[in-house]
Amino acid sequence: MVGAIIGKGGQKINEIRQISGSVIKINEPQDNSNERLVTITGTEECNRMALYMLYSRLESEKHRI
């Protein structure tokens, strides 16, 4: 799923960063886990936009599978 957020060469995540105005960091998975921590920082409005865009990408990917 993280590939759907990051995109090829980081294209999708960079687009979300640019449009939302938020700083978005995706950590590497911890030992024995596939989960990654996503940190979003910025103004409340920017962060809401970033969250909306991230969840939209995840939902569209779920429907593709």
Mean pLDDT of 1-8: 87
Break the chain into its structural domains and give their ranges.
Answer: 2-24+35-64
Q: What is the pLDDT of residues 7-65, one digit of tens each?
A: 999 999 999 999 999 999 999 998 888 899 999 999 999 999 999 999 999 998 888 76
Q: At what angle do helices 11-20 and 44-64 cross, to 10 degrees?
A: 150
Confidence at residue 6, expressed as pLDDT on a 0 to 100 scale: 93
For domain 2-24+35-64, the question of CATH label 3.40.50.300 is answered with no
- Indicate the pTM of the whole model: 0.85
